[in-house]
Structures are given as C-alpha cells and as structure tokens.
Amino acid sequence: MNLLHQFGLYTPRSENSEILYIVSITIILAIFALYVVFCLIWLHLSFTVRNLRSRGILEA
C-alpha cells in the first residue's frame, strides 16, 4: 500500500498538483544552485585575476 493511501492524503485530483509542486520546487532549486555556482566561479576568477595583476606589478 502506498504511504499516501495510509494517511488518506491521496486523491486522484491531488496527484497532478503534487507533481506540479515538486517539479516547480525542483526547477527553482536548480536555478538557485546554478546561480550560486556562477557566483562562486565569478568570485574565484576575480580574485585570481586580481592576484595575477598584483604579482605582475611587483615583478616588473
């Protein structure tokens, strides 16, 4: 028996809305994760370029 059937939460109408809710939450979390990864890469590259510039000025 399905867990939703045990607690009486399953109805044929609620299945589609639950799936839509899970899909929308998954898409939002995936976009947020991509945003965080983009920000971390951007920060890493900006500090790398800054360090390379400071080394180049000191060595020249």
**Cα–Cα distance, 59 to 26 (Å, whole number):** 49
Phi, psi of 8 (to 5 degrees): 75, 20
The predicted model scores a pTM of 0.58
**Cα–Cα distance, 54 to 5 (Å, whole number):** 65
Q: What is the pLDDT of residue 43?
A: 93
Q: What is the pLDDT of residue 58?
A: 52
Q: What is the pLDDT of residue 59?
A: 55
pLDDT tens, per residue, the chain with 60 residues: 455 555 555 555 656 778 888 999 999 999 999 999 999 999 999 888 877 777 665 554
Greatest alpha-carbon span in the chain: 74
Phi, psi of 53 (to 5 degrees): -65, -45
The full set of domain ranges for the chain reads 3-59
Amino acid letter, 26: T
